[in-house]
Homo-oligomer: A and B are copies of this chain.
Amino acid sequence: MLIRPARPEDAAAIWRVIGPTIRAGETYTLDPQMREADALAYWLGPDKETFVAEEEDGAIVGTYFMRANQAGGGAHVCNCGYMTSAAATGRGIARLMCQHSLDHARARGYRAMQFNFVVSTNERAVRLWESLGFKIVGRLPLAFKHPTRGYVDALVMFQSL
Protein backbone atom coordinates (compact mmCIF):
# COMPACT_ATOMS: atom_id res chain seq x y z
CA MET A 1 0.00 0.00 0.00
CA LEU A 2 1.37 3.37 -1.03
CA ILE A 3 0.12 6.54 0.60
CA ARG A 4 0.95 9.51 -1.60
CA PRO A 5 -0.29 13.03 -2.29
CA ALA A 6 -3.44 13.16 -4.39
CA ARG A 7 -3.09 14.39 -7.97
CA PRO A 8 -5.76 16.12 -10.04
CA GLU A 9 -6.19 12.98 -12.17
CA ASP A 10 -7.18 11.03 -9.04
CA ALA A 11 -10.44 12.94 -8.74
CA ALA A 12 -12.71 10.28 -10.23
CA ALA A 13 -11.14 7.55 -8.09
CA ILE A 14 -11.42 9.73 -4.98
CA TRP A 15 -15.09 10.30 -5.69
CA ARG A 16 -15.61 6.52 -5.89
CA VAL A 17 -14.20 6.34 -2.35
CA ILE A 18 -15.90 9.34 -0.75
CA GLY A 19 -19.18 9.40 -2.71
CA PRO A 20 -20.83 6.40 -1.04
CA THR A 21 -19.79 7.58 2.44
CA ILE A 22 -21.15 11.07 1.82
CA ARG A 23 -24.36 9.70 0.35
CA ALA A 24 -24.86 7.39 3.35
CA GLY A 25 -24.70 10.41 5.69
CA GLU A 26 -23.85 8.32 8.74
CA THR A 27 -20.38 9.52 9.68
CA TYR A 28 -19.60 12.95 8.20
CA THR A 29 -21.39 16.26 8.62
CA LEU A 30 -21.54 16.82 4.89
CA ASP A 31 -24.76 17.24 2.96
CA PRO A 32 -25.57 13.71 1.75
CA GLN A 33 -26.97 15.21 -1.45
CA MET A 34 -23.98 17.41 -2.24
CA ARG A 35 -22.85 17.36 -5.84
CA GLU A 36 -19.77 15.38 -6.84
CA ALA A 37 -18.01 18.57 -7.94
CA ASP A 38 -18.69 20.25 -4.59
CA ALA A 39 -17.54 17.19 -2.67
CA LEU A 40 -14.29 17.06 -4.62
CA ALA A 41 -13.80 20.81 -4.25
CA TYR A 42 -14.16 20.32 -0.49
CA TRP A 43 -11.95 17.21 -0.19
CA LEU A 44 -9.25 18.63 -2.45
CA GLY A 45 -9.62 22.26 -1.36
CA PRO A 46 -6.69 24.68 -1.28
CA ASP A 47 -6.86 24.76 2.53
CA LYS A 48 -6.00 21.05 2.64
CA GLU A 49 -3.29 18.56 1.82
CA THR A 50 -4.97 15.47 0.41
CA PHE A 51 -3.52 11.98 0.16
CA VAL A 52 -4.63 8.71 -1.38
CA ALA A 53 -3.98 5.09 -0.39
CA GLU A 54 -3.06 3.24 -3.56
CA GLU A 55 -2.75 -0.50 -3.98
CA GLU A 56 0.01 -2.11 -6.01
CA ASP A 57 -2.30 -2.41 -9.01
CA GLY A 58 -3.00 1.32 -8.88
CA ALA A 59 -6.47 1.08 -7.31
CA ILE A 60 -7.26 3.89 -4.87
CA VAL A 61 -8.93 2.44 -1.79
CA GLY A 62 -8.70 5.31 0.67
CA THR A 63 -8.08 9.02 0.97
CA TYR A 64 -7.49 11.56 3.69
CA PHE A 65 -6.98 15.29 4.07
CA MET A 66 -5.07 17.42 6.54
CA ARG A 67 -5.58 21.09 7.30
CA ALA A 68 -5.04 23.56 10.10
CA ASN A 69 -8.09 23.18 12.34
CA GLN A 70 -8.20 26.90 13.09
CA ALA A 71 -6.46 30.04 11.90
CA GLY A 72 -4.51 32.51 14.04
CA GLY A 73 -3.71 31.23 17.52
CA GLY A 74 -5.20 27.81 16.73
CA ALA A 75 -3.15 27.05 13.63
CA HIS A 76 -0.73 24.71 15.42
CA VAL A 77 -3.49 22.07 15.70
CA CYS A 78 -4.36 20.12 12.58
CA ASN A 79 -7.53 18.34 11.57
CA CYS A 80 -7.88 15.32 9.29
CA GLY A 81 -10.67 13.42 7.61
CA TYR A 82 -10.31 9.84 6.36
CA MET A 83 -12.45 7.69 4.12
CA THR A 84 -11.94 4.13 2.94
CA SER A 85 -13.76 2.51 0.05
CA ALA A 86 -16.57 0.27 1.24
CA ALA A 87 -15.06 -2.68 -0.63
CA ALA A 88 -11.76 -2.32 1.25
CA THR A 89 -13.19 -1.96 4.76
CA GLY A 90 -11.57 -4.03 7.49
CA ARG A 91 -8.13 -4.24 5.93
CA GLY A 92 -6.47 -1.64 8.13
CA ILE A 93 -6.39 1.10 5.53
CA ALA A 94 -7.80 3.76 7.86
CA ARG A 95 -5.19 2.81 10.44
CA LEU A 96 -2.41 3.12 7.87
CA MET A 97 -3.70 6.48 6.71
CA CYS A 98 -3.99 7.79 10.27
CA GLN A 99 -0.47 6.64 11.13
CA HIS A 100 0.74 8.34 7.96
CA SER A 101 -1.11 11.51 8.91
CA LEU A 102 0.37 11.57 12.42
CA ASP A 103 3.87 11.31 10.95
CA HIS A 104 3.06 13.94 8.36
CA ALA A 105 1.59 16.28 10.96
CA ARG A 106 4.76 16.03 13.07
CA ALA A 107 6.86 16.70 9.98
CA ARG A 108 4.72 19.74 9.24
CA GLY A 109 5.34 21.02 12.76
CA TYR A 110 1.80 20.65 14.05
CA ARG A 111 1.66 20.25 17.83
CA ALA A 112 -1.63 18.34 18.00
CA MET A 113 -4.35 16.71 15.92
CA GLN A 114 -8.05 17.20 16.58
CA PHE A 115 -11.14 15.46 15.25
CA ASN A 116 -14.02 17.87 15.72
CA PHE A 117 -16.93 15.57 15.14
CA VAL A 118 -16.67 11.80 15.50
CA VAL A 119 -20.18 10.37 15.40
CA SER A 120 -20.54 8.28 18.55
CA THR A 121 -22.28 5.44 16.73
CA ASN A 122 -19.19 5.04 14.52
CA GLU A 123 -17.77 2.77 17.19
CA ARG A 124 -15.13 1.17 15.06
CA ALA A 125 -13.68 4.57 14.27
CA VAL A 126 -13.74 5.64 17.93
CA ARG A 127 -11.87 2.47 18.94
CA LEU A 128 -9.39 2.90 16.10
CA TRP A 129 -8.61 6.50 17.00
CA GLU A 130 -8.23 5.56 20.66
CA SER A 131 -5.83 2.76 19.73
CA LEU A 132 -3.78 5.35 17.84
CA GLY A 133 -3.46 7.64 20.84
CA PHE A 134 -6.49 9.94 20.62
CA LYS A 135 -8.47 10.81 23.72
CA ILE A 136 -12.11 11.82 23.87
CA VAL A 137 -11.90 15.41 25.14
CA GLY A 138 -15.48 16.43 24.48
CA ARG A 139 -18.97 15.07 23.97
CA LEU A 140 -21.57 17.03 22.00
CA PRO A 141 -24.98 15.87 23.15
CA LEU A 142 -27.29 14.75 20.34
CA ALA A 143 -25.30 16.88 17.90
CA PHE A 144 -25.68 14.46 14.99
CA LYS A 145 -28.90 13.38 13.32
CA HIS A 146 -28.18 9.86 12.16
CA PRO A 147 -30.28 8.77 9.18
CA THR A 148 -31.55 5.67 10.98
CA ARG A 149 -30.68 6.05 14.69
CA GLY A 150 -31.96 9.59 15.17
CA TYR A 151 -30.12 12.14 17.29
CA VAL A 152 -26.86 10.75 18.68
CA ASP A 153 -23.85 12.27 20.42
CA ALA A 154 -20.70 13.35 18.63
CA LEU A 155 -17.23 13.23 20.15
CA VAL A 156 -14.28 15.59 20.03
CA MET A 157 -11.03 13.61 19.94
CA PHE A 158 -7.55 15.04 20.41
CA GLN A 159 -3.93 13.99 20.48
CA SER A 160 -0.83 16.02 21.28
CA LEU A 161 2.05 15.29 18.92
Contacts and interface: CB of A to CB of B under 8 A. Distances in A.
A140 interface: yes
A101 interface: no
Q: How many copies of the polypeptide does the oligomer hold?
A: 2
Interface in A25-41: 25-26, 28-32, 34
A77 interface: yes
B144 A32 contact: no
Nearest to A119: B73
A119 B70 CA distance: 12
Interface in A48-86: 70-77
The 8 closest A-B pairs by CB, nearest first: A138-B138, A29-B70, A29-B74, A73-B145, A138-B156, A29-B72, A73-B144, A31-B71
30 contacts: A25-B72, A25-B73, A29-B70, A29-B72, A30-B71, A30-B72, A34-B71, A73-B119, A73-B144, A73-B145, A73-B146, A73-B147, A74-B117, A74-B143, A74-B145, A74-B154, A76-B145, A76-B151, A111-B142, A112-B142, A112-B143, A114-B143, A137-B139, A137-B140, A137-B141, A138-B139, A140-B156, A141-B158, A141-B160, A143-B158
